Amino acid sequence: MKFLLDTCLAATSPPLDDEDDDRTTTIKDHPVPTRITVLVDDRAVFPGLAVEHGLALWVEHEGHKLLFDTGASGHALLANAAALRIRVEEAEAICLSHGHFDHTGGLGVLAPRMGGVDVYAHPDAFVAKYAKSPSGWHARGMALSQSQLEAAGIFARLSRDAQEVVPGVFLTGEVPRDPRFVPSTPHLCADSPMGRIIDPFHDDQALVLRARDGLAVVCGCAHSGVINLCRAAQKLMNPRHLVGQSRLRAVLGGFHLGDASPQLVAATIEGFRELLPTAIHPLHCTGEAATRALVLALPDRCHPIGTGSVVEF
C-alpha cells in the first residue's frame, strides 16, 4: 500500500538555539523522524479505507506510540489500523482533544483491547454535551463515563493544565483565546452547574511535540481556534522565549472552519502567515471552502491530507 508522505519543505525560520531547558531540546537530540498516521478522518486519500465523521491519529515519536482521539465508532479505527498494519494495542496512552463523540466514541470498542492504558484529557471532556437543532437536543458527548472507562481498566488522567504524556509530548490544557480566532458555535452546548449553556470548550486542547526541526501541533476540532492553540503550544514548549525554539514545523488536525465566517477564515490565514508553519495539514472539520482558501493563500505550506496519510517531520 502506498502512503502519502509529506515532503520536507524548506525551513524559513532561524537556526535552532543550542541552549536547553526542560522543554526545549535541539535538533541533534532527535535523529528519528516523528511520524503521524491518519487512522480516521472524514475523507480517505486511498480507496478501501473506512471513513467516518471523526478523527483519530497514530503518533510515533522518539520510540513512543500514542493514539490521539479515537474517531466516532471505533470500527473505522480498527479496520484502518489493520489495513495500515498498526497495532493500536501498542499505544502507551490515549490523548483526547475534547469530549465530542466524533473524537471519543471509539473508546467503547477500544477499551476491552487496551486495558491498562491511560487516557489523558481535560476533566470537562466528561461533561454532557449536546447539539441543538430544530428537532431538539442531540447528545454529542462521550458515550462512556469515567467510571465505566475505569471499570474497563482505562485510567483517566485529567488536568486543566498542560500534561506531559510521554517525554517531550504534551497536551496543552486550557489555552488563552484571542476571540478573533475562535469559531462561533452557539448550537453546541454543554451541561453546567448553571444549566445547559453554550459549550465554553474548556476541554479543547492540542497535542504538542518537539520534532527534529520544530514543533508539531496536533488539533482535534480546534474549538479554541487553531491559531490560539498554536500560540499556546509555542509558549508551553518555549517558556523562556529562546531564539528558534518556537518554530512550527507542522500543524495538523481539524480547524473547525466548516461553517466559519469569511472574517474567521481570513483571520486564521493571517494568523498562519504570522506563525509560518512549514507545513499545514487540514483534516476533519476544517471544511472544504476553508481548506481551499488556506491552500490558495499558502500554497507552499498547506497540504490537505486524509485517512491513510502519513506525515513525517
> Which burial class, exposed, middle or buried, applies to 235 when counting CB atoms under 10 A from its CB (0-12, 13-18, 19+)?
middle
- Among 102, 124, 174, 199, indicate the residue that binds Zn ion (CB under 5 A): 102
Q: Is 202 near Zn ion (CB under 5 A)?
A: no
Q: Which of 180, 206, 204, 175 has its CA nearest to residue 190?
A: 204
- Shortest Å distance, C-beta 83 to Zn ion: 22
Judged by beta carbon, residue 41 or residue 213, the one nearer Zn ion is: 41
Strands 129-133 and 155-158: unpaired
- Shortest Å distance, C-beta 248 to Zn ion: 22
- Among 39, 221, 260, 280, indicate the residue that binds Zn ion (CB under 5 A): 221
Q: Find the angle CA(303)-CA(275)-CA(98) to the nearest 5 degrees.
A: 70
Strands 64-68 and 93-95: parallel
Q: Is 39 near Zn ion (CB under 5 A)?
A: no
How far are the Cα atoms of 102, 137, 187 from residue 134, in angstroms, in the given order? 21, 8, 10
- Shortest Å distance, C-beta 262 to Zn ion: 22
Q: How many residues bind Zn ion (CB under 5 A)?
A: 4
Q: Is 203 near Zn ion (CB under 5 A)?
A: no
Judged by beta carbon, residue 211 or residue 221, the one nearer Zn ion is: 221
Judged by beta carbon, residue 285 or residue 310, the one nearer Zn ion is: 285
Using the contact rule CB under 5 A, the part of the chain among 37-45, 74-82, 189-197, 217-225 near Zn ion is 217-225
Characterise 151 by phi-psi region: left (phi > 0), alpha (psi -120 to 50), beta (else).
alpha
Q: Is 41 near Zn ion (CB under 5 A)?
A: no
Q: Is 231 near Zn ion (CB under 5 A)?
A: no
Using the contact rule CB under 5 A, the part of the chain among 23-31, 56-64, 151-159, 213-221 near Zn ion is 213-221
Helix axes 226-237, 262-275, angle to 10 degrees: 30
Judged by beta carbon, residue 16 or residue 219, the one nearer Zn ion is: 219
Using the contact rule CB under 5 A, the part of the chain among 150-158, 216-224, 230-238, 262-270 near Zn ion is 216-224
- Shortest Å distance, C-beta 223 to Zn ion: 6
User: Is residue 95 within 8 Å of residue 66, measured between CB atoms?
Assistant: yes
Q: Is 122 near Zn ion (CB under 5 A)?
A: no
- Shortest Å distance, C-beta 11 to Zn ion: 31
Helix axes 288-297, 262-275, angle to 10 degrees: 40
Q: Say how far apart CA 191 and CA 200 lie, in whole Å.
A: 10
| Residue numbers 258-297 binding Zn ion by CB under 5 A | 285
Q: Is 100 near Zn ion (CB under 5 A)?
A: yes
- Shortest Å distance, C-beta 305 to Zn ion: 16
C-alpha cell of residue 3: 502512503
Residue whose grid cell is 454532557: 128
Q: Say how far apart CA 15 and CA 310 lie, in whole Å.
A: 26
Judged by beta carbon, residue 238 or residue 268, the one nearer Zn ion is: 268
Interface contacts to Zn ion, rule CB under 5 A: 100, 102, 221, 285
